């Protein structure tokens, strides 16, 4: 199946705490969906980085990128769906309702040789 066959794809759910690495280690905060949202992703939606739009608690619609997968640098054993909204929020929004629409595929998941290399990745 073509990896773009299931796009656009809409997902929504509550924002939960992730591993805390996006903000603390990389300076790139991400909003994490629950494992239930990830479990319900279409089977033909491959792991990788996607672009689209996001909305938090019915606020403004903002551009975003979403990473879906196991984050090879960290050797995760649980598949995640993490969204980086291209906007500066005044505070964390754990517990908020997040809606995203994935419009396109940017690239495959990549492994990095160091945290510094990961922090300078390109979408």
Predicted confidence pLDDT, tens digits, the chain (123 residues) = 465 688 999 999 999 987 665 555 556 788 999 999 999 999 889 999 999 999 999 999 999 999 998 875 556 668 889 999 999 888 889 999 999 999 999 987 765 555 454 445 544
The domain defined by 9-121 carries CATH number 2.40.30.30: yes
- 8 Å CB contact between 56 and 95: no
CB atoms within 10 A of CB 67: 19
What pLDDT sits at residue 85? 94
25 in catalytic set: no
Task: Break the chain into its structural domains and give their ranges.
Answer: 9-121
Measured between alpha carbons, how far is 66 from 85 in angstroms, rounded to an integer?
Answer: 8
Query: Measured between alpha carbons, how far is 26 from 5 in angstroms, rounded to an integer?
Result: 32
Q: What pLDDT does 61 receive? A: 98
What's residue 109's pLDDT? 76
Q: Which is the catalytic residue, given 5, 12, 25, 82?
A: 82
DSSP state letter for 52: E
């Amino acid at each position: 199946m073509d990896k773009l066959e299931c796009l656009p794809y809409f997902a929504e759910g509550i924002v939960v705490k992730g591993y805390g690495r996006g903000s603390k280690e990389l300076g790139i905060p991400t909003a994490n969906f629950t494992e239930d949202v990830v479990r319900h992703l279409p089977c033909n939606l491959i792991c990788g980085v996607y672009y689209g739009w996001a909305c938090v608690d019915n606020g403004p619609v903002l551009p975003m990128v979403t990473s879906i997968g196991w984050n090879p640098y960290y050797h995760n054993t649980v598949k995640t769906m993490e969204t980086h909204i291209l906007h500066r929020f005044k505070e964390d929004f754990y517990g908020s309702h997040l809606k995203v629409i994935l419009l396109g595929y940017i690239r495959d998941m990549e492994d990095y040789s160091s945290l510094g290399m990961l922090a300078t990745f390109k979408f």
